[in-house]
Amino acid sequence: MYRLLLVDDEADTREALSSYFPWQEVGFQIIGQCGNGKEALNFIQNHDKIDVILTDIKMPVMSGLELAEVIHEQKHNIHVIFLSSYREFEYAQKALRYRVNNYIVKPAKYQVLLDVFAGLRDELEAAKHALDQPPSGTSNEGLIITQIKAYIQNQYKDANLEDAAKQVYLNANYLSYLFKQKTGQNFTDYLIQVKMKVAMRLIQENQFKTYEISEMVGYSNAKNFTRTFKSYYGKTPSECKNG
């Protein structure tokens, strides 16, 4: 079980999240609840291992954004997910800056929670598997691919082949060859696949404009994003929103 800390100034929200979602079935165990970011930091300091924090954004004393910033600056190995009624693009952009893993809009839909945490579980499993594997031969190549996939899933906005190669201490050209050989898919194609899946989830939540989603998944030009999205899904973002 991966260890999850809930942070929200509304006790009813914490109670609902802890009681009505099947965390253990998805692979998570709630180890505590806090009412603001400062309480969460104190909790972190007094507990050995926390894998994930699910936090509201706007809270008294210390906000979720401030909490994420401290976690990022102190390099805690903790994944952060925002859960907030605030839909503003500014919050989503700051979340990306602090390497927040995801941004869920209240009221959280069951399927969205399930998709987000199942994906995070798979990412954590991949990282754990990578650490457990012996660094030799074919198994080492499999380990490299696992690490690269986890890197892309976590850093899809800014991920690129050169940076990925640095993660595993390989030449970029060789990594490109190895990734294709082991997965049957180009590095760039896999990166686009991850970006498009994230984009589709954001579109289905119907909380952000197309140009905002474009930036959130790493496209500076919304037209290029729309073109790629239509090529991948056969529909434009607007058509998916409306249908």
pLDDT tens digits, 32-81: 999 999 999 999 999 989 999 999 999 999 999 999 999 988 888 899 99
Q: Which residues pair with 82 in a beta bridge?
A: 55, 103
For the chain, domain boundaries: 2-115, 133-243
154 pLDDT more than 70:
yes
Query: Which range is most confident: 125-129, 136-140, 214-218?
Result: 214-218
Return d(Cα 165, Cα 173) in angstroms, integer.
9
Model pLDDT, residue 138: 52
- CATH node for 133-243: 1.10.10.60
Q: How far is CA 174 from the centre of its chain?
A: 27
CB 87 within 8 A of CB 208: yes
Return d(Cα 194, Cα 203) in angstroms, integer.
14
Fold classification of 2-115 (topology level): Rossmann fold (3.40.50)
Task: List, for residues 91-130, the tens digit of each pLDDT value.
Answer: 666 676 676 878 888 888 888 899 889 888 887 887 776 5
CB 170 within 8 A of CB 144: yes
pTM as predicted: 0.65
Return d(Cα 202, Cα 48) in angstroms, integer.
34
Closest CA to 201 of 91, 94, 117: 117
Closest CA to 9 of 70, 79, 85, 71: 85
Coil, strand or helix at 91: helix
CB 81 within 8 A of CB 53: yes
135 pLDDT more than 70:
no
Gyration radius of the chain's alpha carbons: 19
Q: How confident is the model at residue 192 (pLDDT cuts 50, 70, 90)?
A: very high
